Amino acid sequence: MKFSLNWLKTYLDTEASADDIAAKLNAIGIEVEGLEDPAETLAGFRVAHVLTAEKHKDADKLQVLSVDTGEGEALQVVCGAPNARAGMKGVLGLPGAVVPTNGMKLRKSAIRGVESNGMMCSARELDLGDDHAGIIELPDDAPIGTSFAEYRASSPVFDVAITPNRPDCMGVYGIARDLAAAGLGTLKPLEINKTEGTFPCPVEIRIDEPEGCPAFFGRVIRGVKNGVSPQWMQDALRDAGQRPISALVDITNYLMLGLGRPAHVYDLAKLEGPVVARHAKDGEQVLALNEKSYTLEPGMTVIADDQGVHDIAGIMGGEESGVSEETTDVLLEIAYFNPEAIGVTGRKLGLASDARTRFERGVDPAFLDDGLDLLTQLILEICGGEASDIVRAGAPPLGARTVSFNPALTGNLGGVDVPEAEQRAILAKLGFMASEDWQVGVPTWRPDIEGPADLVEEVVRIYGLDKVQSAALSRVEGVARPTATQQQKVERRIRRAAAARGLNEAVTWSFIPVPEAEHFAIDSQALWLLDNPISEDMKAMRPSLLPGLLSAAKRNMDRGAQGIRLFEVGRRYLRGADGMSDERPTLAVLLAGERAPRDWAAGKSVPFDAFDAKAEALALLNQAGAPADRLQVMGEAGHQFHPGQSATLRLGPKNVLARFGTLHPRTLEAFDIEGPVMAVEIFLDAIPGKKGGQNFARPAYAPPTLQTVMRDFAFLVDTDVPAGDLLRSVKGADKANIVDARIFDDFRGAGVPEGKKSLAVEVTLQPGEKSYTEEDLKVISDKVVKAAAKQGAELRG
């Protein structure tokens, strides 16, 4: 929320500087996200007097002006504005000044052969309005040579972030109240003049849906003139980021931003019959003020007449009953809407507005009459007219709330001792009423206060959070017991292992676009979609970590990265069998681009391939505690992977621990990535844990006393037999003696039958207490050949 220092000072009597106010706001829990000084933006722009205006010799639409800037010699300026004339006063941008709307730096230049020393500016060029038909015309008493920012009385603009529990600070007056309580000035009372009606209200106001709209107050003002709002109001709204529209609209926006009270003005001539707060009918439509049509659902609260819906209650008015320059009679509406209902409606329609932001947080239910009086007062002063009697339908929820408070809680919970008298004074300045026995009455504008702890927070934040002393937590004697779970330990271990292998850790969003989620989902029905996402590109909970890594890889590759090595440890989100969210711990790796750059020895650069992905998968699985030597390599990695260059690693036929390989071209096309990309996804929840009672400590290292023995075997097997299956059988042939085995040759050609391949296996044997005899080696060899035969392997002669 934005507001100017000038606007703040209409409610707060203070001499504090903008920097002091910003510091105090941060100190009391109202975060200042930005502090801008328009005077800096308008630096180099002066009030100037046009002395002469002559036609340009080479351009019919240009004039050559002689401009007095109050510094002696007049400057020559070329101007194309139709209203530029001798004797007028306007705003001159001197060379070196920067135009706020487009960032153009002004300089001395020649326009059609005539020197120009700056630019006479329009309202749009200075970001002060939409008028670009001519240059700004200032009053005759405007002081020549004065800085335009100083003349305009520009003041610093605050941009603050209001937490959802502080609806009272959604208006400048609420922020002024907090600052006054913190000792940075005195809160000015609101000047509310009760306006007595001069005629009965000609419109029937009714509530047919009291749950969504408990109270609806209104009155008619006839004979208004809807022109341009006063300059001071336009300046305040622009500083707040609002575009001035017309006097009637600007007045309602000024009330909403200044006092946190949304209201609405209808053109009475466009209404027909009673104005009713009711439920929408199924399929009913309304054209909102944002020029978009919305289809309504039963249960949504609307304001309607005999013609149809004119207002999505508490969110946005309708275009058809909006005020215009021709409006002469208006109906003022100020109501209290159910915050929960407003939130539900806004989310279903995907419609956000300043009014919704305030209503769904909870506006002050006691401010209906005063708000209507202030609205009436401003309209009568600015637009004229006469007001009718007030019509009140329903009543706002004004139930008194009292909290029993013990001032000692401030020390116990807040960690700072505040004298009781000071606590009472702080609460009083914030609008709370504390009795002698500390029964504290909660003001109607503070729906967030529910118990004593909330009052402690109010006292401490105003007294000073910086006064709370740091205190170490108590610690029992002895060695602290470990708190990390086994899963956390595994994740830490593989994170370190991945980094040690040269992979760069990435942290990506858990929310991704729906098309990306559907591409990586096993079943689209198992996806989790958000009803109220941050944006449409963050609507689905990720069923895989690979979409986030692919997006990160694309960003890096678009910026010239040659080799991408990314990993992430996080959660996949699936819909469980019970319909609840199921979080699965996962490690994902992405390899793209060059594995090794080109050099004088190797020549061309070496890209990543599926075997690189397999190596990463096995190494990281080993670090995670999986029995990597017993894993089976099987297919069915998923349609996201290339079917001939991918596989899964399983512990048994059903327990998939990981998938790896080359991503499918369709997957890369969906993410607009060129070139082969390798990926690994390790499902940490599928890795079996250690059985109960098993010793987690590693045995002491005891190197063998005897040297290992190597034996080579060559087997003929069918070409479709995976080498890994043969290797696993050989390793298991004699576990007491065989400590390792590896494939060192794969031959297909002369001497090998068609449909067969020759796989050469090096087997490593480790003798125990004595060396092997020839008989021992023959027994072991026979076991190896017998085990290989189970895979259809035949010892090659």
Would you state the structure tokens that stand for residue 505, as one six-digit string? 């850790």
**For 69-223, where are the E strands, in sequence order?**
75-79, 89-93, 109-111, 114-116, 119-120, 157-161, 186-187, 205-207, 215-222
The separation between CA 346 and the C-alpha centre of its own chain, rounded to angstroms, equals 18
Q: Is 581 helix (H, G, I), strand (E, B) or coil?
A: strand
Would you state the structure tokens that stand for residue 745, as one six-digit string? 């040759």
Estimate the crossing angle of helix 368-383 against helix 247-259, to 10 degrees. Answer: 140
Burial category of 157 from C-beta neighbours within 10 Å (exposed 0-12, middle 13-18, buried 19 and up)? buried
Kindly list the distances between the CA atom of residue 403 and the CA atoms of 398, 412, 447, in Å, as whole numbers in the listed order.
Answer: 16, 18, 13
Q: Is 233 helix (H, G, I), strand (E, B) or coil?
A: helix
**In the block, residue with structure tokens 């899963």:** 487
3-state helix, strand, coil in the chain (%, to 5): 25, 30, 45
Give the DSSP H/E element, type plus range, for residue 711.
strand 709-718
Contacts of residue 120, defined as CB under 8 A and 6 or more positions apart, other chains included, come to: 48, 50, 65, 67, 77, 79, 81, 84, 90, 91, 92, 93, 135
Cα gap 250→227, rounded to integer Å = 10
Q: Please, are residues 180 and 12 in contact by the beta-carbon 8 Å criterion?
A: yes
Closest CA to 45 of 96, 7, 84: 96
Q: Please, are residues 757 and 741 in contact by the beta-carbon 8 Å criterion?
A: no
Would you state the structure tokens that stand for residue 717, as one six-digit string? 């097997």
Torsion of CA 492, 498, 500, 502, to 10 degrees: -150
Closest CA to 740 of 751, 753, 727, 752: 727
60 labelled binding-site residue: no
Residue 146: what residue type?
A: T
Cα gap 521→686, rounded to integer Å = 18
Strand partners, 295: 285
Contacts of residue 92, defined as CB under 8 A and 6 or more positions apart, other chains included, come to: 45, 46, 47, 48, 67, 69, 75, 77, 118, 119, 120, 121
127 labelled binding-site residue: no
**For 562-708, where are the E strands, in sequence order?**
563-575, 581-596, 606-607, 632-634, 641-650, 656-663, 677-683
Residue 554: what residue type?
A: K
Cα gap 269→254, rounded to integer Å = 24
Cα gap 156→20, rounded to integer Å = 12
CA end-to-end distance (rounded Å), the chain: 85
Buried b (16+ CB within 10 A) or exposed e, 742-762: eeeeeeeeeeeeeebbbbebe
User: What count of residues does the chain have?
Assistant: 797
Q: Please, are residues 715 and 761 in contact by the beta-carbon 8 Å criterion?
A: yes
Would you state the structure tokens that stand for residue 73, as one six-digit string? 């010699």
720 labelled binding-site residue: no
- Known binding site for Mg(2+): residues? 448, 454, 457-458
- Known binding site: residues? 448, 454, 457-458
